[in-house]
């Protein structure tokens, strides 16, 4: 019986142009490689695997979220909220972490000349992705599924119905992003593809930041619509389809639920079959094309601009070490796609809060007396700490990490100044222009004086936060480690756990604004405290990097003979 | 002997409008060791990648062992072995695991595979470290593993892109002798290199490529006669460099000394 089943599966696989033997071995090796790379990164430390930490943190988040909502919402809206959350998170993770899994010509360099069909190769990549998606999808949905059984309508069957539907929704979300990769691949070359992907990912991340806010605010309207019976609009929202499927699974055969469920299944079927069939057939061809594409030649900067940039460097970074780090990190902030992709979505935060503040008429001037807490104004400056958290978590990693031998070989005498240069590059290239921009935008709504004072205080608080964040930096030289799946997500997720600290900052600002004159005194104190903390962070990082370098045995790892 | 083992006709590759390989044609018979030479950026690696099915040509046909590479890529790939110039290895695997994966991709029976892996690693002196991860290997050791991976499935045609990179003198000698033996047994070897004296001593025929076009094709003796030069190095210089190399080197050295002074 077992042999017959295996033979049948093999026949089906071969009809699909899949080589089951190769598929199995390649998939096993691809997962083994992922886990080994993760453990290699955490060797010597007691940190558990990045994937497990991420799953644990997501599990805790969704448990807390479910605890707040399971007694408040009816099962339909409860499912809708968690399905939306899971689908957005999965799409975000696939976009930010798994681009290289699906579209990576590097792997093709190793396997391209082996007798592997396009379909087999694609199936391996897709299965690798689905393995992670199912694990993360389970972490996101296991607690909401269990707590749903104790909701208001107390459906004991709920976990059994909701959980597989949630995994199907996660699969749909992941497939949608994979298809997006496929569509982009067909029209542009690799360099343009990578650029386009970064911008798509940034826009999508904006949607995620906005999506949370819109979702929470849209709930009352949905509930109202549900009561009046006009829920057809949910046909355009994928989480609505799957929420309908949950209801059908629970035996509620209402016309709308059946309509959404049917539409959802149809769309999933279409997505998986039609879309992927064409992508998988030409998969190797696309990778070969990517491999072949050369970098577009960029025009050199005009002499005038180069002179200004050089003068700025001389002015801001006095020692050669500082200038080298300032120049290097400044350029990477502009050119490194991974850094841009992970860093710039945080810019959606002020846009979202200014937008919502305008819509809800809550963007009030915090310096003027008001009965309402001016939350939009304070959330807007939160972008500083958010960017700092991301920057601190991303700084050690780069696809070009192999070039970091340079720092170990070059005679860097003053590592303190080197780290000062790193921070200054971030401050000057990103943080300062951003707060200036916030000041300009807020000037449209408030007295310009108040707008710029608020932005300046936000900058000064961010400066303190930069010092604190870099006191906990453990990455050594910038861009010197290989990016590994889920590691950055884990670090950023852990860093986000420090968000309650911002509550304290808000309270501090709120108190200050109520007393004329205090903001100026506070600004001076903040900048002084920031300077002390940043200086201490540079010294600590210089010491830690030197010790790490000495423990590694200096240059031994770069020598050709085995260490 | 039957038809040619490799037949390339009007092979062309354009990268975003830049011509990397321009209408090259050649045939290679079974048992030949052909050296493929050219300066940096001449199109050597692009040619090899097209011949191994990694890159798709813009134009032209490639027939290997009577099979059209574009029409039947999987069957052609079963018949070839390839040692890439850089990368091409999973460093988180051990040498044994890597070779096992490669053997399984070619559907080698497990007992045959185990035997061959041990044999190859013993030949290259890697049996003691076969269960250590490749990330701890030196460049030369990795090169030996790549060579083993290319030969594991006993291919009819072998493509080597700078195979001596990082190899110690003993291993280099071993490889050169191995290539001669393989050719004598009927394997066809396409040897891409910068090291002219190795090509001169190992290859039965030399093809020189410059700016994407073939500028010379023949035995070393034929080329010497044709160009009236004494060594392959002289032939290479004459065919591929327009300026005087001695003069260039002198100017460069002078500028370094000036910086010091």
Q: What phi and psi, each to the nearest 5 degrees, are found at residue B115?
A: -60, -45
pLDDT at A398: 86
Q: Please determine, for residue A47, whether its predicted confidence score (pLDDT) is greater than 50.
A: no
Out of A159-163, A554-558, B190-194, pick the least confident: A554-558
Q: How many residues does chain B have?
A: 261
Give the Cβ contact number of residue B121 at 10 Å.
20
Q: Most B CBs within 10 Å: which of A26, A114, A405, as the mutation test of the B interface?
A: A114
pLDDT at A220: 66
Specify the 3-state DSSP secondary structure of B9. strand
Highest mean pLDDT among A440-444, B137-141, B253-257: A440-444
Specify the 3-state DSSP secondary structure of B32. coil
Mean pLDDT of B170-179: 84
B194 in Cβ contact with B161 (< 8 Å): no
Q: Please determine, for residue B63, whether its predicted confidence score (pLDDT) is greater than 90.
A: yes
Q: How far is CA B13 from CA A348, B5, B77, B184, in A?
A: 43, 22, 20, 33
At A476-501, the pLDDT tens digits run 888 888 876 666 566 666 666 666 67
- Render the burial of B137-161: b for 16+ CB within 10 Å, e for the rest: beebbbbbbbbbbbbbbebebbbbb
- Choose between A271 and B67: higher pLDDT: B67
Q: Characterise B154 by phi-psi region: left (phi > 0), alpha (psi -120 to 50), beta (else).
A: left
Question: Could you give the dihedral angle defined by the CA atoms of residues A36, A39, A41 and A43, in that order, rounded to the nearest 10 degrees?
Answer: -130
| Chain B residues near residue A293 by CB distance under 8 angstroms | 15-16
- Choose between A488 and A65: higher pLDDT: A65
pLDDT at A466: 93
pLDDT at A45: 39
Instruction: Identify which of A496, A497, A518 has the alpha carbon closest to the alpha carbon of residue A508.
Output: A518
* Closest Cα in chain A, distance from residue B35 (Å): 20
pTM: 0.70
Indicate yes or no: CB of A108 within 8 angstroms of CB of B101.
Answer: no
What CA–CA distance (Å, rounded) separates B2 from A545? 64
Kindly give the interhelix angle for A320-335 and A415-426, rounded to the nearest 10 degrees. 40
Closest residue of chain B to A189, computed from CA coordinates: B16
| Chain B residues near residue A106 by CB distance under 8 angstroms | 87
Indicate yes or no: CB of A114 within 8 angstroms of CB of B75.
Answer: no
* Closest Cα in chain A, distance from residue B227 (Å): 35
Specify the 3-state DSSP secondary structure of B229. coil
pLDDT at A42: 46
Out of A416-425, A500-509, A538-547, B252-261, pick the least confident: B252-261
| Chain B residues near residue A291 by CB distance under 8 angstroms | 49, 54-55
Indicate yes or no: CB of B136 within 8 angstroms of CB of A117.
Answer: no
What CA–CA distance (Å, rounded) separates A217 from A239? 16
Indicate yes or no: CB of B138 within 8 angstroms of CB of A117.
Answer: no
B70 in Cβ contact with B62 (< 8 Å): yes
Across-strand partners of A260? Answer: none
User: What is the rounded radius of gyration, in angstroms, for the C-alpha atoms of chain B?
Assistant: 20
- Distance of alpha carbon B26 from the chain centroid: 16
Indicate yes or no: CB of B137 within 8 angstroms of CB of A113.
Answer: no
| Chain B residues near residue A296 by CB distance under 8 angstroms | 16
Mean pLDDT of A240-251: 90
Indicate yes or no: CB of A115 within 8 angstroms of CB of B54.
Answer: no
Mean pLDDT of A2-6: 79
Instruction: Identify which of B37, B86, B43 has the alpha carbon closest to the alpha carbon of residue B195.
Output: B37
Across-strand partners of B13? Answer: B21
* Token output for A30: 């691809």
Burial group, residue A539, by CB count within 10 angstroms (0-12, 13-18, 19+): middle
Q: Please determine, for residue A529, whether its predicted confidence score (pLDDT) is greater than 80.
A: yes
Indicate yes or no: CB of A33 within 8 angstroms of CB of B55.
Answer: no
B143 in Cβ contact with B169 (< 8 Å): no
pLDDT-based confidence at residue B245 (cuts at 50, 70, 90)? low
pLDDT-based confidence at residue A189 (cuts at 50, 70, 90)? low
Closest residue of chain A to B93, computed from CA coordinates: A33
pLDDT-based confidence at residue A230 (cuts at 50, 70, 90)? low
Q: Please determine, for residue B134, whether its predicted confidence score (pLDDT) is greater than 60.
A: yes
pLDDT at A304: 80
Residue B52 neighbours by CB under 8 Å, 6+ apart = A112, A113, B77, B80, B82, B159
Q: Closest CB to B101: pick one of A25, A293, A562.
A: A25
**A560 at the B interface (CB within 8 A)?**
yes
What CA–CA distance (Å, rounded) separates B99 from B193? 25
Q: Please determine, for residue A196, whether its predicted confidence score (pLDDT) is greater than 60.
A: yes
Alpha-helical runs (H) found in A98-189: 99-102, 105-111, 118-148, 158-187
Instruction: Identify which of A458, A457, A443 has the alpha carbon closest to the alpha carbon of residue A383.
Output: A458
Q: Chain B residues with CB-CB distance to A under 8 A?
A: 13, 15-16, 18, 49, 52-56, 73-75, 77-78, 80, 82, 84, 87-90, 92-93, 97, 101-102, 104-107, 129, 132-133, 135-141, 166
Q: How far is CA A195 from CA A198, A296, A345, B109, B247, in A?
A: 5, 11, 15, 45, 43
Mean pLDDT of A86-92: 86
Indicate yes or no: CB of B93 within 8 angstroms of CB of A29.
Answer: yes
Indicate yes or no: CB of A189 within 8 angstroms of CB of B16.
Answer: yes
Percent of chain A with pLDDT over 70: 77
For residue B216, the surrounding DSSP H or E stretch is strand B213-218
pLDDT-based confidence at residue A420 (cuts at 50, 70, 90)? very high
**A43 at the B interface (CB within 8 A)?**
no
Q: Closest CB to A561: pick one of B93, B102, B138.
A: B138
pLDDT-based confidence at residue A279 (cuts at 50, 70, 90)? low
pLDDT at A99: 65
What CA–CA distance (Å, rounded) separates A134 from A48? 19
Q: How far is CA A222 from CA A30, A233, A247, A356, B220, in A?
A: 44, 10, 16, 18, 82
| Chain B residues near residue A560 by CB distance under 8 angstroms | 138-140, 166
Specify the 3-state DSSP secondary structure of A497. coil
Across-strand partners of B193? Answer: B37
A97 in Cβ contact with A487 (< 8 Å): no
Across-strand partners of B208? Answer: B37, B216
What CA–CA distance (Å, rounded) separates A174 from A130? 8
Out of A64-73, A450-459, B211-220, pick the least confident: A64-73
Across-strand partners of B209? Answer: B214
**A117 at the B interface (CB within 8 A)?**
yes
Mean pLDDT of B102-117: 91
**A562 at the B interface (CB within 8 A)?**
yes
pLDDT at A289: 64
Closest residue of chain A to B109, computed from CA coordinates: A21
At B183-202, the pLDDT tens digits run 998 999 999 987 787 888 88
A82 in Cβ contact with A166 (< 8 Å): yes
Q: Most A CBs within 10 Å: which of B21, B84, B97, B105, as the mutation test of the A interface?
A: B105
**A319 at the B interface (CB within 8 A)?**
no
For residue B221, the surrounding DSSP H or E stretch is helix B220-227
At A204-226, the pLDDT tens digits run 766 766 666 666 666 666 666 66
pLDDT-based confidence at residue A228 (cuts at 50, 70, 90)? low
| Chain A residues near residue B141 by CB distance under 8 angstroms | 562
Instruction: Identify which of B44, B45, B57, B41 has the alpha carbon closest to the alpha carbon of residue B86.
Output: B45
Alpha-helical runs (H) found in B128-218: 139-151, 169-184, 196-202
Q: Closest CB to A288: pick one of B55, B84, B106.
A: B55
Q: Most B CBs within 10 Å: which of A14, A109, A115, as the mutation test of the B interface?
A: A115
What CA–CA distance (Å, rounded) separates B170 from A560? 17
pLDDT at A489: 64
* Closest Cα in chain A, distance from residue B2 (Å): 25
Specify the 3-state DSSP secondary structure of A552. coil
Mean pLDDT of chain A: 79
pLDDT-based confidence at residue A555 (cuts at 50, 70, 90)? very low
pLDDT-based confidence at residue A561 (cuts at 50, 70, 90)? very low
Q: Please determine, for residue A181, whether its predicted confidence score (pLDDT) is greater than 50.
A: yes
Out of A234-238, B129-133, B246-250, pick the least confident: B246-250
Q: Closest CB to B92: pick one of A37, A111, A563.
A: A37
* Token output for B103: 């053997």
B11 in Cβ contact with B21 (< 8 Å): yes
* Closest Cα in chain A, distance from residue B196 (Å): 24
pLDDT-based confidence at residue A467 (cuts at 50, 70, 90)? very high
Highest mean pLDDT among A250-259, A512-521, B95-104: B95-104
Q: What phi and psi, each to the nearest 5 degrees, are found at residue A464?
A: -60, -45
pLDDT at A179: 81
Q: Please determine, for residue A340, whether its predicted confidence score (pLDDT) is greater than 90.
A: no
Closest residue of chain A to B45, computed from CA coordinates: A292
Out of A275-279, A304-308, A472-476, B47-51, pick the least confident: A275-279
Give the Cβ contact number of residue A507 at 10 Å.
11
Q: Most B CBs within 10 Å: which of A18, A43, A104, A110, as the mutation test of the B interface?
A: A110
pLDDT at A223: 64
Q: Most A CBs within 10 Å: which of B16, B55, B125, B149, as the mutation test of the A interface?
A: B16
Residue whose entry in the numeric block shows the structure tokens 């798709």: B56
pLDDT at A436: 93
pLDDT at A556: 42
User: How high is the ipTM of this complex?
Assistant: 0.79
Indicate yes or no: CB of A562 within 8 angstroms of CB of B137.
Answer: yes
pLDDT-based confidence at residue A559 (cuts at 50, 70, 90)? very low
* Closest Cα in chain A, distance from residue B167 (Å): 11
| Chain A residues near residue B134 by CB distance under 8 angstroms | none
pLDDT at A552: 61
Q: Listing from the earlier edge strand, what are the strands of the sheet with B205-210?
A: B80-83, B157-161, B188-193, B33-37, B205-210, B213-218
Highest mean pLDDT among A289-303, A334-348, A548-562: A334-348
* Closest Cα in chain B, distance from residue A2 (Å): 22
């Amino acid at each position: 019986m077992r042999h017959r089943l295996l033979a049948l599966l093999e026949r089906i696989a071969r009809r699909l142009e899949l080589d089951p033997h190769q598929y199995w071995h390649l998939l096993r090796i691809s997962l083994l490689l992922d886990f080994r790379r993760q453990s290699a990164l955490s060797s010597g430390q007691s940190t558990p695997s990045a994937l497990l930490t991420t799953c644990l943190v997501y599990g805790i988040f969704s448990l807390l979220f479910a605890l707040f909502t399971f007694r408040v919402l009816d099962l339909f809206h409860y499912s809708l909220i968690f399905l939306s959350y899971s689908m957005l998170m999965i799409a975000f993770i696939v976009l930010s972490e798994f681009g290289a899994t699906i579209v990576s010509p590097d792997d093709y360099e190793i396997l391209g000349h082996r007798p592997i069909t396009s379909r087999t190769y694609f199936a391996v990549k897709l299965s690798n992705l689905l393995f992670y998606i199912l694990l993360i999808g389970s972490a996101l949905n296991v607690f909401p599924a269990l707590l749903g059984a104790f909701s208001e309508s107390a459906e004991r069957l709920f976990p059994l119905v909701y959980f597989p539907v949630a995994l199907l929704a996660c699969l749909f979300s992941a497939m949608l992003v994979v298809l997006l990769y496929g569509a982009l691949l067909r029209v542009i070359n690799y360099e343009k593809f990578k650029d386009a992907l970064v911008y798509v990912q940034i826009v999508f991340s904006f949607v995620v930041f906005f999506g949370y806010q819109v979702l929470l605010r849209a709930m009352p309207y949905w509930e109202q619509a549900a009561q009046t019976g006009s829920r057809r609009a949910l046909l355009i929202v994928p989480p609505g389809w799957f929420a309908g499927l949950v209801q059908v699974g629970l035996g509620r055969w209402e016309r709308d639920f059946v309509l959404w469920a049917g539409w959802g299944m149809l769309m999933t079927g279409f997505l998986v079959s039609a879309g992927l069939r064409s992508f998988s057939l030409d998969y190797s061809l696309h990778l070969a094309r990517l491999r072949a594409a050369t970098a577009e030649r960029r025009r050199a900067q005009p002499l005038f601009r180069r002179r200004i940039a050089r003068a700025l460097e001389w002015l801001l970074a006095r020692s050669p070490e500082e200038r080298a780090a300032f120049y290097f990190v400044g350029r990477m902030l502009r050119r490194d796609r991974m850094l841009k992709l992970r860093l710039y979505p945080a810019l959606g935060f002020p846009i979202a809060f200014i937008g919502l503040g305008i819509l809800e008429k809550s963007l009030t001037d915090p310096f003027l007396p008001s009965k309402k807490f001016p939350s939009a104004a304070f959330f807007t400056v939160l972008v500083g700490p958010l960017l700092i958290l991301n920057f601190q978590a991303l700084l050690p990693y780069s696809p070009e990490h192999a070039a970091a031998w340079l720092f170990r070989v070059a005679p860097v005498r003053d590592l303190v100044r080197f780290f000062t240069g790193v921070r200054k590059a971030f401050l000057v290239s990103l943080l300062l222009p951003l707060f200036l921009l916030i000041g300009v935008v807020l000037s449209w709504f408030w007295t310009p004086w108040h707008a710029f004072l608020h932005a300046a205080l936000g900058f000064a608080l961010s400066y303190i936060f930069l010092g604190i964040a870099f006191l906990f930096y453990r990455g050594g030289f910038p861009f010197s480690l290989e990016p590994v799946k889920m590691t950055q997500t884990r670090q950023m997720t852990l860093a986000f756990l420090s968000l309650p600290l911002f509550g304290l900052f808000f309270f501090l600002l709120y108190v200050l604004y109520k007393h004329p004159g205090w903001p100026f005194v506070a600004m001076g104190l903040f900048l002084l405290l920031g300077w002390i903390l940043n200086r201490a962070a540079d010294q600590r990082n210089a010491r830690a990097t030197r010790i790490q370098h000495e423990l590694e045995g200096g240059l031994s790892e770069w020598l050709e003979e085995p260490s | 002997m039957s038809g040619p083992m490799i037949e390339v006709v009007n092979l062309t590759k354009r990268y975003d409008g830049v011509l990397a390989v321009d209408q090259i044609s050649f045939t290679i018979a079974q048992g030949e060791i052909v050296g493929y030479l050219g300066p940096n950026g001449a199109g050597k690696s692009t040619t090899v990648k097209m011949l191994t099915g990694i890159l798709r040509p813009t134009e032209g046909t490639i027939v290997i062992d009577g099979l059209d590479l574009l029409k039947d890529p999987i069957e052609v790939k079963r018949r070839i072995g390839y040692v890439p110039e850089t990368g091409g290895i999973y460093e988180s695997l051990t040498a044994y695991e890597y070779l096992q994966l490669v053997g399984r991709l070619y559907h080698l029976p497990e007992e045959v595979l185990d035997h061959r892996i041990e044999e190859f690693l013993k030949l290259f002196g890697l049996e003691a470290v076969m269960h250590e991860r490749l990330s701890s290997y030196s460049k030369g050791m990795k090169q030996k593993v790549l060579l083993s991976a290319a030969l594991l499935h006993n291919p009819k045609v072998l493509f080597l892109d700078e195979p001596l990179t990082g190899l110690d003198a003993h291993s280099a000698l071993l490889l050169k002798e191995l290539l001669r033996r393989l050719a004598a047994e009927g394997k066809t070897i396409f040897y891409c290199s910068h090291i002219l004296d190795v090509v001169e001593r190992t290859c039965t025929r030399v093809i020189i490529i410059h700016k994407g076009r073939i500028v010379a094709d023949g035995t070393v003796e034929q080329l010497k006669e044709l160009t009236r030069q004494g060594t392959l190095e002289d032939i290479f210089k004459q065919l591929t460099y327009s300026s005087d190399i001695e003069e260039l080197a002198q100017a460069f050295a002078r500028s370094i000394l000036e910086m010091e002074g």
